[in-house]
Structure 1
Amino acid sequence: MEFLTVPFEASFVFRALLAGSLAAVLCAGIGTWVVLRGLTFFGDAMSHGMLPGVAIAALLGGNLMIGAAASALVISFGVVAVSRSSRLSQDVSIGLQFITMLSLGVVIVSHSGSFAVDLTAFLFGDILGVAWNDVLIIGAATIAGVLACWILHRPFTALTFDERKAHTLGMRPGLTHIGMLALVALATVTSFQVVGTLLVFGLLIGPPATALLMVQGIGRAMTVAAAIGMAQVYVGLLISWYAETAAGATITLLSGVTFLSILAAKALLCRVRLHTVNDNDFQ
C-alpha cells in the first residue's frame, strides 16, 4: 500500500495536497450556495473573467492576486449594476460580463510581445508549485469563508428558497445577494493562482452538485462536498504522479467524472427500485 503515500513524501506534492484540500473545503461551503442559488454561470464568469486583471498585473510586474481581485470587483459590480438598471435577466448580465472580460484579457495578452501571461497556467494553475505562503493564504481564506457561510446561513437560506419571505423578514436580500457574490469572488481570487481557474470552478461546482445528489440538508451537503473535494484532490495528485499527467487538469476531470458516475448510479438505483415495486405489485 506504499504507493498510496509515496508521492506525498515529496514536500511539493504534500504542499499541493494541503492547498488543494483547503481550496476544496472553501469551495464546498460557498459552492453549495452557488448551486442552490443557481449562480453556476456567475462562478464560471468570475473564474474566467479575472484574466484582464491578471494580465495587466503580470505585464506591470505587480501582484497577480491584486489584479484578479480588481477584475472580480469589476465583474461583481457590473452584474449587479446591469441587472438593476435594465429589465434583462441576471444571466444576460453575467454573460455580457463574462465575454467582455475574457475577450479583453485575451486582447491584452495577445498584444504583449512577450506573452507574459501563460494562459495554460491561468487555466490550470501550478498546484505542484505551491509555496507555504500560498497554503497560509488559502487557509486564512478558508477560515473566513467557512465562518461567513455559518454566520450568513439563515439569510442565505431565505434568499435561496424564498426571496419574498427574506424581504418580509427584513433580511435585506439585495445585500445578502451581494454577500454571496463576494464569497464567490473570495474563493476564485484566493485559489486561482495556485490551482488555476478551471480547478477552482471544478471544486466550486462539482463536489457540491455531487453531494446534493447524495444527501439532503444544506449542512450535510457542505460536509459531504468538502469530503468529496478533498478526496478528488488526493486521488488526482496520486494519478498525476504515476500517470505523469497535469495535476490540475486531472483533479478537474475527476470532479466531472465523479458527478456523472453518481448521477448514473442514482438513476440505475431508481430503475431497480421501480422494477422491484412493479414486480411486487404484479405478484
Structure 2
Amino acid sequence: MIEFLTAPWDFAFWQRAFLVAAMSGVVCGVIGSHVVLRGMAFIGDAVSHAVFPGVAVAFVFGFDLVVGGAVAGVITAVLVAVLAQNRRLKEDSVIGILFAAAFGLGIVILSTAPGYSGSLESFLFGSILGISDQDVTNVAVIGALLLLVAVLLHKHLVAATLDRELARSVGLPVFALDIALYVMVTLAIVISLQAVGNILVLALLITPAGTARLLTDRLGVMMVLAPIIGGVSCLVGLYLSYAFDLAAGGLIVLVVTGVFVLAWFFAPKHGLVARMRARQAQLV
C-alpha cells in the first residue's frame, strides 16, 4: 500500500500532475461554493465554453491556449454581468445567448485552420500528465490570488447573494461584485482545464460545493469542506488513473461524483436516509 502511494511521486510528471490537480480542486471548491449558493451553475458551463473562441484564436495565431481562453472567458463574463443588469432579461437567458454565440464563433474560427482537432484534444479532455513546470507555477500563482480575493470579498459576495436589494441599500457595489465573481469563476475554470478539460471542468467547479451543501447548514463549514472534497477527489482520481491506466480527467470527475452520491444518500441531515427516518418519526 505504501509503495502504491509513493511510487507515482518518483516521476516528475506525476509530481506536477498531483500538485496541479490538488490546487485546481481546492480553488474550484472555494469559488464553486459561491456559484452554488447563488444557484448559477449554468455560468460555469457557459464560461467553460466561452473560452473556446479565445483558444481557437490562440491556436490559429500560435499563442498560448490558456491565455487565449482566459481572455475570452473574462470578456464573456463581464458581458454577462453588464447585460444581466437589464431586468427584462434574466441572468440565465443572457448566459445562454452569450454561451451559444461564443461557441459558434470558436467553431467558425477553427474552421479556418485545418488539422486542429489533435492539437485541441488536451483542451477538451485535459492533459494533466503533460503539464510543465511553468504550468504548475501559473496555477499556483493564479490559484493563490483567487483564494486571497475570495477571502477578502467573502462577506460582500455572501451579502450580495442572500439579498441583492439589501446589499445595494447598505452601499455594497453589487454590480462590481458580480463582475468579480464572474472573473473568479473564469480564472478557476481556466487553471483547471489541464486537469479535467473543457468538457468536464463544470463538475470540478460545482460538484464539491454541491456535496458540501448537503453535508452542512453552516456556510463557513461548507467553504472548508468543498475545497477538501475537490482536492482529495482530484488526488484519488489521479491515483486510480495511475493504477488502471485510464483517463485522469474522467476518473477525477467520477470520484467527485461518487462522493456526491454518497452524500445524497447518507448526509447526516439532508441525505435520503436521514430524511426517510425523519418522516417515519413524524408518522409515529
Q: TM-score, normalization: structure 2?
A: 0.91
2:78·2:182 contact (CA, 8 Å) conserved in 1? no
CA drift at 1:37 = 1.0
Q: Is the 8 A contact 2:196 2:252 kept in 1?
A: no
1:260 aligns with 2:275: no
Contact map agreement 1:109 1:117 (CA 8 A) in 2: no
Cα distance, 1:18 vs. partner? 0.6
Partner of 2:105: 104
In structure 1, give the amino acid aligned to 2:204. L
Cα RMSD of the aligned pairs, angstroms, is 1.9
1:114 aligned counterpart, secondary structure: coil
The letter of the residue matching 1:47 is: S
How many angstroms does 1:64 deviate by?
A: 1.4
Runs of 4+, deviation exceeding 6 Å: none
Identity of aligned residues (%): 35
- State the AA in 1 paired with 2:35: V
- After TM superposition, the structure 1 = structure 2 runs for residues 11-26 of structure 1, keeping only pairs within 5 Å, are 11-26=12-27
Distance of 1:128 and 1:50 partners within structure 2: 22
Q: Deviations over 1:145-200 (max 9, x none)?
A: 11111111111111110111101110121111111111111212233245422443
| Structure 1: 5+ residue stretches without partners | none
| Residues 74 and 182, structure 2, Cα contact 8 Å, conserved in 1 | no
Partner of 1:172: 173
Given the superposition, is the C-alpha separation of residues 278 and 170 from structure 1 closer, same or farther in structure 2, using an over 3 Å criterion? closer
Displacement of 1:101: 1.0
* Separation of aligned partners in 2, 1:225 and 1:234: 14
Describe the shift of the 1:46–1:230 C-alpha distance in structure 2 as closer, same or farther (beyond 3 A): same
Query: 2-side partners of 1:199 and 1:22: how far apart?
Result: 17
Asked if the contact 2:24/2:195 (under 8 Å) is kept, the reply is no
Matched, 1:271 2:276: yes
Gaps of 5+ in 2: none
Q: Distance in 2 between matches of 1:261 and 1:196?
A: 25
Describe the shift of the 1:247–1:193 C-alpha distance in structure 2 as closer, same or farther (beyond 3 A): closer
Structure 1 residue 117: deviation in Å?
6.1
Change (3 A) 1:196 1:113: same
1:4 maps to 5
Q: SS where residue 70 of structure 2 aligns?
A: helix
Q: Is the 8 A contact 2:84 2:94 kept in 1?
A: yes
The change in CA–CA distance for 1:158 and 1:12 in structure 2 (over 3 A counts) is same
Q: How many residues align?
A: 279
CA distance in 2, matches of 1:194, 1:250: 11
Seen in structure 2, the aligned counterparts of structure 1 residues 243 and 194 have a Cα distance that, compared at 3 Å, is closer
Please give the secondary structure, in 1, of the residue aligned with 2:85.
helix
Equivalences for residues 203-214 of structure 1 within 5 A: 203-214=204-215
Aligned counterparts, 1:1-283, within 5 A = 1=1, 2-85=3-86, 87-115=88-116, 118-265=119-266, 266-275=271-280, 277=281, 281=284
